[in-house]
Amino acid sequence: MSVTLSGPSNGASLATATAIGTILNPNPQPVLSIASTSANEGSSLSFAVTRSGTTANALTVNYATANGSAISGTNYTSASGTLSFGSGVTTQNIAVPTSDDGVYTSNLAMSVSLSSPTGGAALGTASATGTIVNTDVQPSLSIAGASANEGANLSFAVSRSGALGNAITVNYGTANGSATSGTNYSATSGTLTFGSGVASQVILVPTSVDNVYSGNLAMSVSLNSPTGGAVLGTGSATGTIVNTDAQPSLSIAAATANEGSPLAFTVSRTGATGNAVTVSYSTSNGTAASGVNYNATSGSLAFAPGVTSQVVSVPTIDDYINTGNLSMSVLLSAPGGGATLGASSASGTIVNIDPAVSLSIGTASAAEGSNLNFTVTRSGGTAGAVSAHWATSNGTALAGTNYTGASGTVNIAAGATTGTITVTTLHDCVVTGSKNMYVTLSSPSAGLTISGATGSGSISNIDKINCN
């Protein structure tokens, strides 16, 4: 605005008659800026647009995406539009979706630019970079070993791990080991091509039949010079050419025998029978123990030319205990004469022939002052000596008053069916009527069960009057 002077008096004149008054605005101009951002491919890029200066204005600004090394439609979805900042709003976000393309690359970039601000706003940082972080693993090529009978093809699988979107190639070539090209296999070289999405390829190497038993032979295939951003993992693999001329092989078969009879393990030779071969053997415990259930045995078998089987005999022991069937094993080792081992271990089953044996205790009765004699009976067989623990317990009769409390072991000798437990009763000189107590069996010896664990003892009164 302005102020103007006029009409000076007393001979005064006007030098500067008008002056301008400037009203200073204390609110700085709003400025819009966009910040760079980053996100993993497949996530959204979130660009923050911030307002500095006064926040009282309602204002807008346009935005639009642009390609960099990232391409819209392939690496991200293009976006454009208008952001509106209401009064007091200082930040808005622009979301730009990205795509996981399955291709191993370096990180890619695109940009978002601001334009045409309104509401008196100016642009600060008008453009920002969005970095799309590659999450695809660098493709790696590995070759796996192969095995084939002589005369068949060796099939080497070459597999790609990591990103599958890249188109890549790799060269390969064969090399001798114990197998010789031109004699045992055909030398091969070339290039494998992996199109986008292809995870595996196969290299075929023909082998030859030489009609000579030589053991298995080996050669190798190596990869080199990968392209398309790929690296090598396992770059070389062995091809095993399996000899098909029959090598002698020795195997042992399982055996079964009743306890007390020998276990007869048959050792058989397959393949060539013209060789003189040998093999060592030895026994090993399972649920059966050497010296208790069988006699430990070891030695060597000799197969003369033309002989296809031999027998290892292992004596077993009848322990006269019902244990159920028991097991041990015979192991083959150290084959000689070019032989290998097939089934190198076999189980021997020792069949229990002893019947199940159980103990039971009967009842007993006696006049006070006499002994209670409890009979313990063995059923199911009389082979071997057996035993069980016993202990008394009160009923209406009390230990120390009506009988002497006791515990111990009852033994039944081999061939016998019964044993006796004796409990001393006490004469109490009191007219009381009959009383009872108990004897209980527990902890039977190996192979036994208890069918009747507790016997009752009846103590009859002999007093007519109290005699104390």
Among residues 64, 99, 133, the one where a domain terminates is: 133
Contact of 298 with 280, CB cutoff 8 Å: yes
pLDDT number for residue 33: 97
Question: What distance in Å separates the CA atoms of residue 8 and residue 20, rounded to the nearest whole number?
Answer: 20
Coil, strand, or helix at residue 26?
A: coil
Please give the tally of structural domains in the chain.
4
Q: Give the residue ranges of the chain where pLDDT is below 70.
A: 1, 3, 19, 21-26, 211-213, 465-468
pLDDT number for residue 87: 93
Residue 7 lies in a domain: no
Contact of 220 with 177, CB cutoff 8 Å: yes
* Same domain, yes or no: 309 and 294: yes
pLDDT number for residue 145: 97
Residue 9 lies in a domain: no
Q: Encoding tokens for residue 305?
A: 């030319």
- Token pair 């007390």 is found at 260
Domain ranges, residue 259? 249-351
Residue 466 lies in a domain: no
Among residues 298, 329, 351, the one where a domain terminates is: 351
pLDDT number for residue 13: 77
The backbone torsions φ and ψ at residue 466, rounded to the nearest 5 degrees and listed phi first, read -70, 130
Contact of 256 with 296, CB cutoff 8 Å: no
Residue 440 lies in a domain: yes
Strand order in the sheet with 454-460: 364-367, 454-460, 435-442, 386-394, 407-412
pLDDT number for residue 446: 79
The backbone torsions φ and ψ at residue 91, rounded to the nearest 5 degrees and listed phi first, read -140, 140
Residue 14 lies in a domain: no
* Same domain, yes or no: 105 and 49: yes
CATH of the domain at 94: 2.60.40.2030
Among residues 185, 218, 242, the one where a domain terminates is: 242
N residues, the chain: 468
pLDDT number for residue 26: 60
Residue 17 lies in a domain: no
pLDDT number for residue 84: 95
pLDDT number for residue 22: 56
Strand order in the sheet with 189-194: 146-149, 236-242, 217-224, 168-176, 189-194
Q: Encoding tokens for residue 200?
A: 């595996």
pLDDT number for residue 10: 76
pLDDT number for residue 166: 84
Please compute, for residue 252, the number of CA atoms within 13 A of its CA located in the half-sphere on the CB side.
26
* Same domain, yes or no: 125 and 145: no
* Same domain, yes or no: 123 and 184: no
pLDDT number for residue 11: 76
With CA atoms as reference, report the closest residue to 179 among 190, 169, 188, 171.
188
